[in-house]
Structure 1
Amino acid sequence: MLLEDDAGLRFTFSAGLESAGHDVIALSSCSEAIQALKTFKPDVLVLDLLIDDGSSIEVASFANYAAPEAEVVYVTGSGMFPRGELFNMVNNLRWVLRKPIQIADLNDMISHVALRQSETALSFGQAG
């Protein structure tokens, strides 16, 4: 799941992730993301921190409840939380990437997080 309010970045990130083989649902608001999480269970959420209709921290928190296996990667241009405070606020946060970002770096991070999930699932005897 990709949450980005900038239409150009949303298109670029979505196209780049899809070309790398990821299934992507791209959304532009926190309310859309929360609604989607009621039926869609993503492996990874790529969230812009500051969205037009608020902070996406509420989306990450809801995902922790609605899709507890999902992990969060923030992609942000914000200078908020420069000392990693965000990791204390979002239980399922795995990485924060600062904009501008190369799509290859985003793909690498998503692949890394997904691989970690597979290894964790296998270590608990679940199908990955």
Structure 2
Amino acid sequence: MKNILLLEDDTGLRFTFAMALKDAGYNVTTAADCDSAMDLLRAGDVEVLVLDLKIGGLMSTGVADYASVAFPEIPVLYITGSGLFPSGELFQMSKNARWVLRKPVNLVDLLSLVDHVTSDRTMRANA
């Protein structure tokens, strides 16, 4: 079972995303702010980061940046409701970014992308 760290500041969305991922068989740890996410990332066995791009007035790219240095194998899926980076600039800014989902997020899309990045990682580890 893969371990996912989900960073989302909206309580309802955090619950909905976490439940969908848990129902799909993933272990999910949640955070509501960047500091908590950083603490959980440092302390746990995180295999995938699902990050809301804008957390309050902050950007979650710092969490992804830390992960890209300390744990470069961890893929990042961003979720955003903002119009920032419409031309894919986020992929140049965040080394381990694999996908950006725009809100409202279709849960099937979220699960498909998490499945995709976890299977890619498994295949690379076994190669």
TM-score (norm 2): 0.93
User: Are positions 1:81 and 2:85 aligned together?
Assistant: yes
**Following the alignment from structure 2 to structure 1, what is the Cα–Cα distance between the partners of residues 7 and 71?**
16
Q: Which residue of 1 aligns with 2:126?
A: 122
C-alpha contact 1:45 1:73 (8 A) present in aligned 2: yes
**Following the alignment from structure 2 to structure 1, what is the Cα–Cα distance between the partners of residues 42 and 105?**
29
Q: Which residue of 1 aligns with 2:72?
A: 68
2:83 is paired with a residue of what secondary structure?
A: coil
In structure 2, runs of 5+ residues without a counterpart are: none
2:50 is paired with a residue of what secondary structure?
A: strand
User: Are positions 1:108 and 2:105 aligned together?
Assistant: no
**Following the alignment from structure 2 to structure 1, what is the Cα–Cα distance between the partners of residues 71 and 40?**
11
**Following the alignment from structure 2 to structure 1, what is the Cα–Cα distance between the partners of residues 22 and 70?**
24
1:25 is paired with a residue of what secondary structure?
A: strand
TM-score (norm 1): 0.93
Q: Which residue of 1 aligns with 2:55?
A: 51
The root-mean-square deviation of aligned C-alpha atoms, in Å, is: 0.9
**Following the alignment from structure 2 to structure 1, what is the Cα–Cα distance between the partners of residues 45 and 92?**
23
In structure 1, runs of 5+ residues without a counterpart are: 124-128
C-alpha contact 1:41 1:70 (8 A) present in aligned 2: no
Q: Which residue of 1 aligns with 2:95?
A: 91
**Following the alignment from structure 1 to structure 2, what is the Cα–Cα distance between the partners of residues 20 and 62?**
27
1:53 Cα deviation from its structure 2 partner: 5.0
Q: Percent identity?
A: 47
**Following the alignment from structure 2 to structure 1, what is the Cα–Cα distance between the partners of residues 72 and 37?**
15
Residue number among 11, 33, 39 corresponding to 1:35 in the alignment? 39
Deviations 1:13-55 (A, max 9, x none): 0000000001000110000011111111311100000001510
Aligned length: 123
